[in-house]
A and B are shown apart, each in its own frame.
Chain A
Amino acid sequence: MSPAGREVTITIDGREVSAIEGEMLHDAARKGDVEIPYFCYEPKLGDPVGACRMCLVEIEGIPKLQTSCSTPVREGMVVHTRTEQVKHAQSAVVEFLLVNHPLDCPVCDKGGECPLQDISYGWGPGKSRVIDEKRHFEKPIELSPLVAIDRERCILCYRCVRFSQEVSEDAQLQLLDRGDRTYVGTFDDRPYVAPFHGNITDICPVGALTNYTYRFRARPWDIEHAGSVCTLCPSQCNVSFTVRDEKVKRVISRDNAEVDDGWLCDRGRYGFEMFDAPERITGPRLKGGDETGWEQAIAKAAEGLRAAADSSHSGVGSKSVAAIVGDASNEEGFLLQRLLRDALGSPHIDSRPSRGPKASVLRRLNEPKISAKVSDIDEADAILVLGTDPLHSSPILDLRVRKAIRRNGAKLVVATERPTALDGGAEAIARFAPGQAAHFVGELAGALGGRENVATPISGTLADAEKVVVIWGERIARENGAAEALLEVASAVGMSGSEGSGLLEIPDTTNARGLREAGCLPDAGPGLAETTAGMATEEIRKGLISGEVAGLILFGADPLRDFPDTPAWEEALTAADFIVCWSMHENGTTAKADVVFPLETHAEKDGTVTHPDGRLQRVRPSAGRPGDIRPNVLVLSDLAANLGLVTGIDSQPTAFAALTEAVSFYNGIEDEQIGGRGLRWQDRDSSTADLAKNVVMDEQRDAPTSVVQPDPTPRGVPSSDSVATPHSDGSLLLGTYRDLWAGPITELNPPLKFLTPQQRVEISTADADRLGLRSGDRVRVSQNGAGVEAEVHVKERVSKGVVFMAEGVLDGNANALRGGGPVQVQIEKLSEVRA
């Protein structure tokens, strides 16, 4: 928290230091290059606690020594940090901390990177006077399957419990007992299961909390650090890989205040063993499993794609190859759209799992004046979380919102289908039925204009606030008119005129924004420029089935698992003539491919990605590429060459140069400018001008409709007591969501296997009672003959008439049911839970 105050001058150890009035003495000292040892002080964790007493200093005028971490500076303060009194106190405190601390250094993972070691050495008495027995605990024990806790080593600095109370707010980690018997633990010794709990191993200043994944793996002098960006979700947190012998051994945060605030979620932190998983595809292969050389594979792929492009099953001039891009860097995306458009002459490329807004709307959404950056959340007066649960879709933003509420008094309103983890801190909550997002957002725009409707409970908070940040889920834009309505909301709260207000999108895939801006859209080229319109994802699927599309490129996309309507995609992939697939590991989709190429992970890739708020970030190769994996930028370039297109791209720098040239608002960005902290293209002076150059103002083209048409499959009018009116046949409306742990992340990383989600159907207490169901019962959820098995999970906050299931789960994937829109499902009990 940065105090905005006047500058004052204080004196530390005889030197004058400039500080800001009200900031903590400890911070001021650090800025003035004065080192004061400390353990418990961590501003990210909230107010100082002054518990460790390590930072005691002498302040003239106050007889007792004061903790510098909790003393705000005032003009003229005179501080001494090296007097005999202070040194005596520091030595005493170190001695006290070591009274019961075990001499574990030789076997402790923290050794070599341990603040307690460093401070004991620098400020401690040097010799121990303790000959009594130290206190004992059973050690180490599992705090969770990922984190080991050694309570004897704990110096009770409170950091981990403060994290649990004040940052992730899961309040599961607590102190128990009192005095020197105090220890850190959970309720009834149960495992600490929470998606951020890995952070406590980063902030623990001793070896009390360590990762099982890094246990006894390396000493600090064995390893190297390499910085990159995690691409496992749209949060794009900055990470630092701890690498030994070219293999990633550990992932820690690289602390970027503009992106992740120094935290990581457990996915990014523990999802690294899959880099070396045996399931990994390490070289190109052909259908049937035959491994082949790179040249042959590229030649075969080119041959098949050319054949598909030339064939025409329905009419003259029909372009027959399509591409769907998922997990890719900006450069890879750029090359793919060049491949498709210029080498294969096809306009059918998309980077979204389902429908999305037209390019014209996207351009308006992209306007810098209504774009928020992540750090805008910190200062927001009101935050609207719309149509998404950040905990699942972009975890680090969940922490950011909590921080804004807690530290800055931001007011939160939530408008979603499904209960979110942030509900507890919201001023007002609105629920709409699955499929009714567009209607709701339209109502919200109206409410902000003064109309009384279902959105009124949340509109008041937004209307009263000066800085409004709207965090919205990309998937609401799958509905017609939703994105337009969102723009109306932005206009209604005066977003473009308010500094610090804006929209922040949470897309479905990590680099969705970068791929869009690189041109992986059916109706826009690089820089969102106008281009010949092609088919979008769902049209591609229909085209494959009808035969209009014969060839398919899938780059980092697994439609059979991740896209809605699995049966339709099954049909589509089977019908395709030729499929080229890039994937990290084998799955249902790669089984259908004719040529499979390996995909690089974010520890191997060299490229840029674009954060949903527009920040270009650098993914850097940090570990060795297993097997025969080659950089895909070169592979795509080779493939293009085989198809007759000379791209001139033979390295990352040339790829980057081509990208920045083609994307108008990236023009002139240099690699050094991106550096280790990234660069928002909107923050560059020329950006607005450039955008205006290429953006066709759509005011005249697409006259904004004043009445938003709801989705043509209405399933009940949102009312105050039930979001969806129950159907006469007793069926319920199904909504789906992407669970944080659903996906290969838990299947390919052995330490994360215990988190593999089982399919659950979340149901309200009222509906559960009506159907005679209890949590734990097994049921079959079916629709039109297709069904999946799931376990019942009764939740109070789920609206009546609606149920929720997770997408992407291996067994019982909800995507198997959806027919392209929210569907009515029947629930049939299979077995009951034991009483």
Chain B
Amino acid sequence: MAHRLEKRVLLEHAEDPALRTLDGYRRLAGGYETLERAYKEMEQDEVLKELEDSGLRGRGGAGFAMGKKASFLPRGDMAKYLCCNADESEPGAFKDRELMQRNPHQLIEGIAIAALAADAGHAFIFIRGEYDEQADILDAAVAEAYEAGYLGTNILGCHRDLELVVHRGAGAYICGEETALLDALEGKRGNPRLKPPFPAVQGLYGGPTLINNVETLSNVPHIVRRGAEWFKGFGTEQSPGTKVVSISGGVKRPGNYEVELGIPTRELICDLAGGPEDGHEIKAFFPGGSSSPVLKAEEGLDLPYSFEAMAEAGSMLGSGSIIVCDDRVSIPHLALRTARFYHHESCGKCAPCREGTNWTVKMLERMVRGEATPLDLDIVSSVQQNIIGHCLCVLGDSMAMPVGAMVRKFREEFEAVMENPELVLDPHAVVQAPPETLGASA
């Protein structure tokens, strides 16, 4: 049974393994009924209107209005494409994994309906190569959908075709950036492209392409089934709907929780996820994955968990992934760990990100070793400023913003560590909590 604070829409019935099969999906969730109605009775513009009216915002990190994005695709005879971004690699995010593993058909139905809105004839699920098990599950589900006639040529006799290909990535965070995803899907190195032109106009193979996150597309059958008004009944005015939030780090019950957007962050972290481990307090948290500037406990816990509230606080909701840092975490070491991630994942195309990430890592390493001075701290801040706004894509900013925020908000900690590195007793931070408190085993 779900937690009382959860509002399960996407994860409804997800505890039942039968949901994975076509029969189970049909039986438990009325699966594919909406697809049938949409294909047989609705026009492209009708579907688009429903999506636009719902105010559904992208669940992959950017938070852009999904319906509006879909409407950017030009009309005409040319081949159009739909890409499902299942390259979830943001540290702290594991919600798409849950959705694909437990409810693959919901995603497939969402893709098929969104393809109708975009008039796409070819769809791809770009799933990160590490999600091998989930990709296998998707393969099986897609095969079932083909067999049932929901994919392929002349779907349900409606003279519409849709080919769906599950494409496995090979391990690169940058492929989650939509234009880098397109390059990777085209069989190249995953380098981002210049924008403009935007993928909606010139995307995959140069044609109009709609790119959406797994969770975003999973919402589509529900919106089309129950209507935009129903959807707007959850969440806030600027952030309607539910959100599957991944919570991890220094909490008792890390995991995925589906909640209404706008829920107080404290309820998410301390009620749903059980709060900090006994004897410890929350120092700070990332509200939207490692790319979001950290919020101190006193800054952020009492904010509503929504796109607008997080943006106003100088951070972002992003993909909706909360990483909690308790008092044992050394912020300079956290900054180093974060910077190392971006340094590893930088594609290397543009100079500010490529050189900025490796320079930042080198400086932070010196800091935690005690081979730095406060001047270096100023240089680190300056380098983050030099990166922001000058790169080809957002990866550079994704390091510079959180690292910059950490230096700004926890400067005394940095200075203390530089002065005396032995202050950090255990650079590996938190000791593992006893197993009983970590989520139930099925």
Chain A residues proximal to chain B, CB less than 8 Å: 48-54, 56, 64-65, 67, 70, 88-89, 92-93, 95-97, 99-100, 129-130, 132-133, 135, 155-156, 158, 175, 177-182
B-chain residues with CB within 8 Å of residue A93 when the two chains form the complex:
351-352, 390
Could you say which of B189, B194, B343, B390 contacts A180, with CB atoms under 8 Å apart?
B343
Q: Is the interface of A mostly helix, strand, loop or mixed?
A: loop
CA distance A481 to B255 in the complex (A): 82
Interface presence of B357 (CB below 8 A)? yes
A residues in contact with B391, CB < 8 Å: 53
Contacts of A95 in B (CB 8 A): 386
In whole angstroms, how far apart are the Cα atoms of A181 and B345 in the complex? Answer: 11
Encode B93-129 as 1/0 by CB contact (under 8 A) with A: 0000000000000000000000000000000000000
CB pair A129–B379 under 8 Å, yes or no, is yes
Report the bound CA distance from A182 to B349 in whole Å. Answer: 9
B65 at the interface (CB under 8 A from A): no
Q: Is B233 an interface residue (CB 8 A)?
A: no
A179-B386 contact in complex given A48-B194, A53-B351, C-beta closer than 8 Å: no
Alpha-carbon gap, A132 to B369, bound state (A): 13
Give the CA-CA distance A135 to B348 in the complex, in Å: 14
CB closest residue in chain B, given A56: B390
Inter-chain contact A130/B359, CB cutoff 8 Å: yes
The reply to whether the CB of B335 lies closer than 8 angstroms to some CB of chain A is: no
CB pair B390 A51 closer than 8 Å: no
- Whether A64 pairs with B358 at a CB distance below 8 angstroms is no
Q: Please encode chain B, from 364 to 390, with 1 for each CB lying within 8 Å of some chain A CB and 0 for all others.
A: 001000000000000100000011011
Give A132 to B343 CA distance when docked, in angstroms: 16
Give the complex CA separation of A156 and B354 in angstroms.
10
Question: In the complex, are the beta carbons of B355 and A178 less than 8 A apart?
Answer: no
Chain B residues with CB under 8 A of A156: 348-349, 351, 354
CB–CB B354/A52 < 8 A: no
Query: Quick one: given A67-B194, A132-B362, are A180 and B389 in contact (CB under 8 Å)?
Result: no
- Asked if B270 CB lies within 8 Å of chain A CBs, one says no
Q: Which of B189, B379, B391 has the most CB of A within 10 A?
A: B189
A100–B346 alpha-carbon span in the complex (Å): 16
User: Are the C-beta atoms of B345 and A179 separated by less than 8 Å?
Assistant: yes
Would you call B172 an interface residue if the criterion is a C-beta within 8 Å of the partner chain's C-beta atoms? yes
In the assembled complex, the Cα of A511 lies from the Cα of B392 at a distance in Å of 49
Given the complex of chains A and B, what is the CA–CA distance between A474 and B201 in angstroms?
47
Q: Are B355 and A70 in contact (CB under 8 A)?
A: no
Assembly CA distance A178 to B347 (angstroms): 5
Are A179 and B354 in contact, with the CB atoms below 8 A? yes
Known: A97-B355, A156-B348. 7 other contacts (CB 8 A): A53-B390, A93-B351, A95-B386, A99-B359, A132-B359, A178-B345, A181-B348
B26 interface residue (CB < 8 Å to A): no
10 contacting pairs across A/B (C-beta < 8 A): A49-B194, A88-B386, A93-B352, A97-B355, A132-B363, A179-B347, A179-B348, A179-B354, A179-B357, A180-B348
In the complex, B356 has a CB within 8 A of chain A: yes
Min distance, Cβ A816 to any Cβ of chain B, angstroms: 47
Q: Which residue of B lies closest to A48 (CB)?
A: B194
Q: Which residue of B lies closest to A98 (CB)?
A: B355
Contact A50 B351 (CB under 8 A): no
Nearest CB in chain A: distance from B80 CB, A: 21
Are B351 and A135 within 8 A (Cβ)? no
Does any Cβ of A come within 8 Å of B344's Cβ? yes
Q: How far is the CB of B181 from chain A (nearest CB, A)?
A: 16
Residues on B with beta carbons closer than 8 Å to the beta carbon of A53 = 350-352, 390-392
Given A156-B354, A180-B357, CB of A96 within 8 Å of CB of B386: yes
In the complex formed, the residue of A with least CB distance to B354 is A180
**Distance, CA A129 to CA B346, complexed state (A):** 22
A50 to B194, alpha carbons, bound, how many Å? Answer: 7
Contacts of B351 in A (CB 8 A): 51-54, 93, 96-97, 155-156
Instruction: Report the bound CA distance from A129 to B356 in whole Å.
Output: 13
Mask: chain B, 163-206; 1 = CB below 8 Å from A; 0 = not:
00000000010000000000000000100001000000000000
9 nearest A-B pairs in the assembled complex, by CB-CB distance = A92-B386, A182-B348, A132-B362, A96-B355, A179-B346, A99-B355, A180-B358, A96-B351, A179-B348
* A771 vs B129: C-alpha distance when bound (angstroms): 47
Give the distance in Å from the alpha carbon of A177 to the alpha carbon of B189 in the complex.
Answer: 10
Q: A100 vs B358: C-alpha distance in the bound complex, in angstroms?
A: 9
Q: Are A179 and B189 in contact (CB under 8 A)?
A: no
- On chain A, the residues within 8 Å of B349 by CB distance are 49, 51, 156, 158
A182 closest partner in B (C-beta): B348
Inside 8 A of A48's CB, which chain B residues have their CB?
Answer: 194
A85 and chain B: residue at smallest CB distance = B389
With the chains together, A48 CA to B379 CA distance in Å?
Answer: 32
Are B346 and A178 in contact, with the CB atoms below 8 A? yes
Return B236 CB to nearest CB of chain A, in Å: 26
**A64 to B393 Cα, complex, angstroms:** 12
A132–B345 Cα distance when bound, in Å, is 21
B193 to chain A, nearest CB (A): 9
Q: How far is the CB of B175 from chain A (nearest CB, A)?
A: 11
Partner of A65, one of B189, B357, B390: B390
Q: How far is the CB of B395 from chain A (nearest CB, A)?
A: 10
Q: Which residues on the A side are within 8 Å of B387 (C-beta)? A: 92
Residues of B within 8 A of A175 (CB): 189, 348
Report yes or no: B350 in contact with A178, Cβ–Cβ below 8 A: no
User: Looking at A88, A96, A182, which has the most chain B CB atoms within 10 Å of its CB?
Assistant: A96
Contacts of B356 in A (CB 8 A): 96
Separation of A438 and B392 alpha carbons in the complex (Å): 55
> Which residue in chain A gives the minimum CB-CB distance to B379?
A129
> Is B366 a contact of A132 with CB atoms below 8 Å?
yes
Contact residues, B220-272 vs A (CB, 8 A): none
How many Å from the CB of B202 to the closest CB on chain A?
Answer: 11
Identity of the chain A residue whose Cβ is nearest the Cβ of B359 in the assembled complex: A99
Q: Can you name the residue of chain B whose Cβ is closest to the Cβ of A69?
A: B194
| Cα A157 to Cα B255 with chains together (Å) | 43
- Complex-state Cα separation, A606 to B356, whole angstroms: 54
B348 contact set on A, CB distance < 8 A: 156, 175, 177-182
Q: Nearest B residue to A47 by beta-carbon distance? A: B194
Distance in Å: Cβ of B388 to nearest Cβ of chain A: 10
Q: A48-B194, A67-B194, A132-B359 are in contact. Are A180 and B386 (CB under 8 A)?
A: no
Bound complex: CA A605 to CA B345 (Å): 57
Who on chain A is nearest to B392 by CB? Answer: A50
- Could you tell me if A92 and B390 are in contact, using CB atoms closer than 8 angstroms? yes
In this complex, the member of A54, A132, A178, A179 whose beta carbon has the largest number of chain B beta carbons within 10 angstroms is A179
Within the assembled complex, what's the spacing in Å between the Cα atoms of A53 and B172? Answer: 23
Query: Please, how many angstroms separate the alpha-carbon atoms of A88 and B189 in the complex?
Result: 31
Complex Cα gap A177–B349 (Å): 12
Bound-state CA distance A466–B131 (Å) is: 53
Inter-chain contacts of B347 with A (CB < 8 A): 178-179
